[in-house]
Structure 1
């Protein structure tokens, strides 16, 4: 269904393929026909929830028996030809320019910080031992995590602290707009309540990035009653949460829905910078259910929107300024950014911008950047070309 073969210095280091075939068997066959199969360090797949995740990962792993195959389900795909849905995107990394090591983190409901730090430290040392065939040591990490687990903050904090400044980015797996169950893929199986830490070392230049299009306003709200474990805010400023949020962002007469939340996120200030905290839905009792961790006493700041297209274009330009020509962006973009673009008739322009810049990845239920779990953000890693 179309291959974007990305070439570095005359050798194919990363190859990308997409399929919209109606069945698992047909989709796997199309992907395998487009992708190389020898001397690979890693295979990544981003799968629409329209496909059976168990059958898909078992079948594609069988075709790449000697290579780790990892991935997750999505809330939309970032494909070689732009934004898509009901598809599967796959990418392979050549051993010529990459080493990769992978470790699953299972049973997130009982995740302990010390376990995350141990896993991160062990995998970092494993990567160092595996880098002898790749010139230089230039590592980065990818994290894929169950988008319904509500453990992203704890996992990212533990991993980041253990990786000795290796930059990490990633995304929370999606389930379209259903918000029921999400899956991550490892060792031929689909896992829920799980995460993957993938560390890669490369001889190529790269840069991790984060992009959003919001600026803080002077309007503040304080979380005065919350169910922290469930990420549910019951009261803001000692008023019912949904009503006070509507008043603060100026949409009192509008029905609160995903498009409302996409256009009106709230921000939290951490370490001098603002990060988006997006709302998933309104519960019947008027509480607000968030995608990110919340806490009583947390100060939420309303935001004003800048140009979505302009902010994203600027992020691409800044990356090129830092590492030169970019051959591939591995991207993790919040589902709410897509909904915001759709609401403002910007989908086609954003999709074309991503196609032009070779962005490959998926729409998420949340994004990971360093030690942070964020929302309504576009994160990822840009892979440059080999210096001449």
Structure 2
């Protein structure tokens, strides 16, 4: 790709670059040729698992020495030219429009809520300090988290409680379709069992958003037996989980696969709103392994689908109505939305829609919105244009 306008489609203060080079060194060289080299508040990376994560973050951190570089691995990339795979996408935030503070949350297997709250509160105070120096007072937060850590709910609850009214969105790092190991990047290193809290303050207009295409049906399922630590449901309505799920959502085929789960998520009701809870896989014993936390007694509601393209287009229109023309969407989209689009021959339409609306980001193993960890959702932050 050629040189990228630092303003990326307008006065957004964010430069975007992409590479599909096979090797790490060439990919980093491609990004360096497209991005400005100085006056940067932050570089944010979304890296295909086809690259060695340790080598990639070490190499690009050397290339941009003196600039904070962070990011994660993906289950697919949302690139400037649409949906992609086996690529890397980079966003460079200019100091003229952004202040940034990044804090890692390590050792998630022993995560304590009080530690998450302390780290978040310290990051917030630091952002207030650095942004006040340049009279920049509109903050938002991004969270990137190991997509296989099974700690998203606890982490998001702790962070959200400590940030007052700072809106926050994010995504769970991916590993393609392998589900083996995911990474977040910071300080030249690739970390598993970790999360990143990224706080940005800007003088530009912005809006955080959430979009899905499901509505509740009358059919309900109650989790009657579960391994909550491993997010595995053994029984629904006191019946074997996979069998009962298939019956309730109307899957006649005995074969359950990722495409089945993408087309038939279940919903949970929280605070008067419904959120998707997606299934990752069926186990040999007929139990169901979920992407999100589950618990015995939880009521799951079957869902019906609305137009994937139509509901996404509506979300873009709603955002434009609120903040005017959008220069850039930083997007976190569930892998299962991509699989659903592929299943229904809509992938090309969705990719083109994202290209037209300048969406960059990645396909995730789960999305964060406020205090919630959700699935089969498109979340993110829209960055508006600098006033003329």
Q: TM-score range by the shorter chain?
A: over 0.9
Q: How does 1:1-388 map to 2 (within 5 A)?
A: 1-2=1-2, 4-5=4-5, 7=7, 13-388=13-388
CA contact (8 A) 2:171 2:364 kept: yes
Alpha-carbon distance in 2 for matches of 1:114, 1:337? 34
Alpha-carbon distance in 2 for matches of 1:252, 1:184? 39
Alpha-carbon distance in 2 for matches of 1:130, 1:285? 54
Task: Tell me how large the CA RMSD over aligned residues is.
Answer: 1.2
Between stretches 125-134 and 357-366, larger displacement belongs to 125-134
CA 1:348 to 1:8, structure 2 compared with 1: closer, same or farther past 3 Å?
closer
Which structure 1 residue ranges, 5 or more long, are not aligned?
none
CA contact (8 A) 2:146 2:194 kept: yes
CA 1:73 to 1:10, structure 2 compared with 1: closer, same or farther past 3 Å?
closer
Alpha-carbon distance in 1 for matches of 2:335, 2:76? 8
1:46 partner SS:
strand
Cα distance, 1:10 vs structure 2: 7.5
Give me the TM-score of the superposition, normalised by structure 1: 0.98
Alpha-carbon distance in 1 for matches of 2:133, 2:351? 37
Residue by residue over 1:330-355, the C-alpha shift from the partner in whole angstroms, topping out at 9 and shown as x without a partner, is: 00000000000000000000000000
Cα distance, 1:7 vs structure 2: 2.3
Residue by residue over 1:256-288, the C-alpha shift from the partner in whole angstroms, topping out at 9 and shown as x without a partner, is: 000000000000000000000000000000000
Cα distance, 1:9 vs structure 2: 11
Give me the TM-score of the superposition, normalised by structure 2: 0.98
Alpha-carbon distance in 2 for matches of 1:308, 1:2? 32
Alpha-carbon distance in 2 for matches of 1:185, 1:261? 30
Alpha-carbon distance in 2 for matches of 1:244, 1:6? 53
Cα distance, 1:5 vs structure 2: 2.7
Cα distance, 1:132 vs structure 2: 3.1
Alpha-carbon distance in 2 for matches of 1:222, 1:17? 46
CA 1:199 to 1:255, structure 2 compared with 1: closer, same or farther past 3 Å?
same
Which structure 2 residue ranges, 5 or more long, are not aligned?
none
Residue by residue over 1:114-162, the C-alpha shift from the partner in whole angstroms, topping out at 9 and shown as x without a partner, is: 0000011000000001013433400000000000000000000000000
CA 1:237 to 1:386, structure 2 compared with 1: closer, same or farther past 3 Å?
same
Alpha-carbon distance in 1 for matches of 2:160, 2:264? 29
Residue by residue over 1:286-335, the C-alpha shift from the partner in whole angstroms, topping out at 9 and shown as x without a partner, is: 00000000000000000000000000000000000000000000000000
Residue by residue over 1:21-72, the C-alpha shift from the partner in whole angstroms, topping out at 9 and shown as x without a partner, is: 0100010000001100111000000000000000000000011111110000
Alpha-carbon distance in 2 for matches of 1:10, 1:304? 38
Alpha-carbon distance in 1 for matches of 2:334, 2:380? 11
Cα distance, 1:12 vs structure 2: 6.7
